[in-house]
Chain A
Amino acid sequence: MSELLVRAGGLYTTVQDTGRFGYYHMGMPPSGAMDVYSAVVANMLVGNPDGAGVLEGTYVGPTLEFTDDRVVAVTGADVPVTVNDEPVEPWTAIRVGPGDVLGFAMIRAGCRVYVAVSGGIDVPVYLGSRSTYTLTGIGGHQGRKLVDDETLPLGSGDGSARPGAVVPEELRPELAGPAELRTVIGLCSYRLTEDALASFLGTDWKVTKDADRVGYRLRGGKLDFTDREQPFGAGSDPANVVDLGYPVGSIQVPGGDEPIVLLNDAVTGGGYATIGTVISVDRDRIAQTKTGDVVRFTSVDLDTALAARRDRRERIERVRREIAR
């Protein structure tokens, strides 16, 4: 078995794949890559199955040393990437050998980088997935973020990687400007006044420093709840409902002034009114926003959400064809 040396863990780097499913009913969120598109494309570039284990770095990427011949690809956030301190291209399959060191400079745009290595990050599969869920310390590499000076197991590649393969610019995600998050309004949105709902959709929300894999807390406006006598079992706060399930991507507004978008490692349920859900494709987009960035919510229907999902799948298949050329 071969290893990848973690010289520096970066700020918050975890092993992820496309997620752990079938345990939501017992309170376990899916985890998995926050920006699915970038993670899947990184795997494609190095000839891995779409759901192989990758590294997800946040703000400050890891420093990695290779111990054998591999193909590596970096996708996601816009960040200068180096091999042995020489610049290399992101969204490109790069051949590396023993002693080569992959490093990152400061992120220019976006928030999360994905590193795929041919053969995949071969940590043990736990409950059907290699994804890390740090809250209970399961999956990934010992259930936690990477630290300096440790090693990760790599699988054996099948030799299908094509070094030099590049993802064309038009198939890389747009990271500039405010993030438009298409949202299916609903769930318990009846708890907000009409004005509050309009204000929610019309506000430029700023990502606070409380923004991680669990969820993104936003600031920028105040939303009022309609007056009501609280139903039995709901609790006394106007934001309270009888505890219910939270969809991944759902939005709640506990105090009326700080909407929270729940993401891959979120709690699966609780007692706050949910007012809508960011569509699955646009979780990729919020995953690439960072503290201080602006996000906006646009109301869409289910048709639009499903069409966006089909579009993403088609883009992924286009990438697959481009790489196979």
Chain B
Amino acid sequence: MTEKIQLPPARYEYGGDEFVFVELDQAMSLEANFAGMAVTNALREEAIEGVVDICPSNASYMVQVDPDRLDPRELVEELRRLESTVGTLPDDYVLKTRVVDVPVLFNDPWTHETLMRFRDRHQDPEATDLEYAARINGFDSVQGVIDAMTSAPWIVTMLGFVPGLPFCYQLVPRDRQIQVPKYVRPRTDTPERTFGFGGAFAVVYPVRGAGGYQMFGMAPAPVFDLSQSLPDFADDISFPNANDVLRYRAIDMAEFESTRSEVESGTFRYRIREVEFEPASLLADPDAVNRELLEVLYR
């Protein structure tokens, strides 16, 4: 990677009596996310009585406590200890996760219909969201920005906003990150399974609803399934997990429709491969590690 990003000391804050919020950096970086991953993974393994939930976020994390069982100050002491022992991932740290193929139909008719209804809330009412993103990121064409988003995989750096929504950050150096602003004023409507983009984050909207991210396309497969009818949702109503590596793959309408019918008949399964990689190697040579990740996924 171009230049290793040095993180400032973590900032510990009490979110009232029930939450501890830890800011690792004000700016987004893989380094900040990996630091949060190291501490939250270690904390999870300790299974401390009174820790209600552990919520990794992009460049921060949050722990929900039951203050009747665990004094938040004791938790902060433990988090500081973890910061000093595992807070920066050692070079030989191996992340065990899974890499998943996530098909996306870019320029789909449904998000196109929606974005046309909300042009008055957009930075560039004359262009589509993808055309705008291509232009402000210095691509000659919409295909250029699609190629950039689909060539390297992404890592789930946070789940939230609404149940099952994955915030994904691409596994490339900062100077190759695509960035777009959110809508000037949020929309009141976003189709379910919209592939959206805001800041440096790609998301798939789990359910229909309000939203401010740019709309680039639509995923045929769900990330959230209340009925738990698909095999990938047997254990959980939400598919993505923090640290999952997702490869967004551009598909055509024919594949979109065939995947939709698999989803509707209850037979769809994501292509998932167990994978291990060293975050330190990724930071040192992202292209090589990304090639390996994709090689494992499509082997």
Q: How far is the CA of A306 from the CA of B26 in the complex (A)?
A: 29
B17 near A306 (CB under 8 angstroms)?
Answer: yes
Verify if B290 is at the interface (C-beta below 8 Å from A): no
B243 CB, min distance to chain A CBs, angstroms: 12
A242: B residues at CB distance < 8 A: 25-28, 58-60, 199
With CB as the reference atom, state the residue of chain A lying closest to B203. A243
Which of B82-90, B107-115, B159-167, B259-267 has 4 or more CB atoms under 8 Å from chain A? B159-167
Verify if B207 is at the interface (C-beta below 8 Å from A): yes
Q: How many cross-chain pairs have Cβ atoms below 8 Å apart between A and B? A: 185
B166 CB, min distance to chain A CBs, angstroms: 9
Q: What are the interface flags for B181-225 relative to A under an 8 Å C-beta threshold, 1 for contact and 0 otherwise?
A: 110000000000000001111000011010000000000000010
Verify if A271 is at the interface (C-beta below 8 Å from B): yes
When the two chains form the complex, which single residue of A28, A236, A269 contacts B57, counting CB atoms closer than 8 Å? A269
Q: How far is the CA of A269 from the CA of B198 in the complex (A)?
A: 14
Given A232-B29, A234-B26, A236-B181, is A279 in contact with B53 using a C-beta cutoff of 8 Å?
Answer: no
Verify if B232 is at the interface (C-beta below 8 Å from A): no
A90: B residues at CB distance < 8 A: none
When the two chains form the complex, which single residue of A26, A269, A278 contacts B16, counting CB atoms closer than 8 Å? A278
Q: How far is the CA of A248 from the CA of B67 in the complex (A)?
A: 14
Verify if B54 is at the interface (C-beta below 8 Å from A): yes
With CB as the reference atom, state the residue of chain A lying closest to B20. A247
Q: How far is the CA of A131 from the CA of B209 in the complex (A)?
A: 21
A27 near B163 (CB under 8 angstroms)?
Answer: yes
A240: B residues at CB distance < 8 A: 199
A305: B residues at CB distance < 8 A: 14, 16-17
When the two chains form the complex, which single residue of A138, A250, A269, A274 contacts B161, counting CB atoms closer than 8 Å? A269
B121 CB, min distance to chain A CBs, angstroms: 14
With CB as the reference atom, state the residue of chain B lying closest to A245. B62
> Size band of the A side of the interface?
35 or more
A245 near B16 (CB under 8 angstroms)?
Answer: no
Given A184-B14, A271-B182, A277-B19, is A234 in contact with B28 using a C-beta cutoff of 8 Å?
Answer: yes
A302 near B58 (CB under 8 angstroms)?
Answer: no
With CB as the reference atom, state the residue of chain B lying closest to A305. B17
B164: A residues at CB distance < 8 A: 26-27
B66 CB, min distance to chain A CBs, angstroms: 8
Given A27-B162, A245-B57, A267-B160, is A233 in contact with B13 using a C-beta cutoff of 8 Å?
Answer: no
Q: How many residues of B contact A (CB 8 A)?
A: 58
Verify if A25 is at the interface (C-beta below 8 Å from B): yes
A187 near B238 (CB under 8 angstroms)?
Answer: no
B160 near A26 (CB under 8 angstroms)?
Answer: yes
Verify if B150 is at the interface (C-beta below 8 Å from A): no
B21 near A245 (CB under 8 angstroms)?
Answer: yes
B158: A residues at CB distance < 8 A: 243-245, 269
B199: A residues at CB distance < 8 A: 233-235, 240, 242-243, 271
B28 near A231 (CB under 8 angstroms)?
Answer: yes
With CB as the reference atom, state the residue of chain A lying closest to B239. A26
B21: A residues at CB distance < 8 A: 186-187, 244-245, 247, 274
Given A21-B53, A245-B62, is A268 in contact with B16 using a C-beta cutoff of 8 Å?
Answer: no
A186 near B13 (CB under 8 angstroms)?
Answer: yes
Verify if A203 is at the interface (C-beta below 8 Å from B): no
B98: A residues at CB distance < 8 A: none
Q: What are the interface flags for B60-78 relative to A under an 8 Å C-beta threshold, 1 for contact and 0 otherwise?
A: 1110100110011100000
With CB as the reference atom, state the residue of chain A lying closest to B123. A236
Verify if A213 is at the interface (C-beta below 8 Å from B): no
B60: A residues at CB distance < 8 A: 242, 244-245
Q: What are the interface flags for A30-50 relative to B under an 8 Å C-beta threshold, 1 for contact and 0 otherwise?
A: 000000000000000000000
B13: A residues at CB distance < 8 A: 186-187
A279: B residues at CB distance < 8 A: 16-17
A250: B residues at CB distance < 8 A: 15-16, 19
A233 near B53 (CB under 8 angstroms)?
Answer: no
B57 near A244 (CB under 8 angstroms)?
Answer: yes
B residues with CB within 8 A of A: 13-19, 21, 23, 25-29, 52-62, 64, 67-68, 71-73, 158-165, 167, 169, 174, 177, 179, 181-182, 198-201, 206-207, 209, 224, 226, 236, 238, 242
Supply 9 further A-B pairs (C-beta < 8 A) apart from A242-B58, A249-B15. A26-B164, A27-B161, A136-B162, A233-B201, A245-B21, A245-B60, A247-B62, A267-B161, A269-B55
